[in-house]
Amino acid sequence: MNILIIGDVFSKLGRKILENNINKIKEEKHINFVIINGENISHGKGINEGHYKWLMTHGANVVTLGNHTYQNKSILNIMENTNNLVRPCNYPESSPGTGYCTMNYNGIKITVFQVIGELFMKNPENTTSFFKATDELLNKVKSDIYICDFHGEATSEKVAYGLYNDGKIQVIYGTHTHVPTNDLRILPKGTAYISDVGMTGPLNGVIGVKAQIIFDRMINEKTHFFDPEDEGEAQLNGIVVEINEKTYKVEKVEQIQIFEK
């Protein structure tokens, strides 16, 4: 089976390039299962109910979130009533929503979950270690295939996490930095790994935000609110992972990068 994973969809340009290319990718790569990070899809500030439903109509099987999970309050209306909208599993137990979901594909159990990093991240109090939370989940949830979205800033955390869980989880991919890394590979014990799949959205903003806003913040110490770059060129970043349906082992990984004016 072929699994398509698409990095942080950011605002208007992210939605546009996704809509323009998702069906073509699915057809050309013979995709069976789609995972999309949607925590920035609504104007770069979380996800709302309408955009969640929009992702469903465009073929997403699972939508992962991140540090902006609760930024758009309208999503709380459906978080408790859907099983495929995944927030970090190492958030406090009292947090709304779920940290994982298990889907059935042709009799194969696929569990998708998310952890959030600690370095340079503003997390809620009582957030559990991502190592501990993962150990607990793997012991509790029995599945044929495990896929983890590691949402974090620090590549050191992600690399350590990948090596620690090599052979336990079929796919570990990073999100959040919005910059694709060049370390896609199959680790020694069989886990497909990349530190960050990159973003799907503006190409010439600063990780999605209008560049002038960032210039003013960095140079002139101004405090403008972030505003997405919704005009110009766009990029779509992701990976395709081929997994053997009998052995559940990763056979091939491929990076996807599309640019569009």
Closest CA to 201 of 173, 229, 176, 180: 229
Closest CA to 180 of 7, 4, 63: 7
Find how far residue 115's CA is from the centre of its chain. Answer: 10
Which residue's entry shows tokens 């779509």? 236
Please check whether residue 148 is in contact with residue 171, taking contact to mean a CB–CB distance below 8 angstroms: yes
Among residues 68, 151, 176, 178, which one is catalytic?
Answer: 68
List strand residue ranges (DSSP E) for the chain, in order.
Answer: 2-6, 33-37, 62-64, 85-86, 100-105, 108-116, 145-151, 171-175, 185-186, 192-194, 201-202, 234-243, 250-260
How far apart are alpha carbons 7 and 10 in whole angstroms? 9
**Distant-in-sequence, close-in-space partners of 231: CB < 8 Å, separation ≥ 6:** 13
Q: Catalytic site residue 58? A: no
How far apart are alpha carbons 195 and 157 in whole angstroms? 9
Count of other CB atoms within 10 angstroms of residue 153: 18
Which residue's entry shows tokens 């996807």? 256
Handedness of CA 141, 142, 148, 150 (dihedral sign): positive
Give catalytic residues, as residue numbers: 68
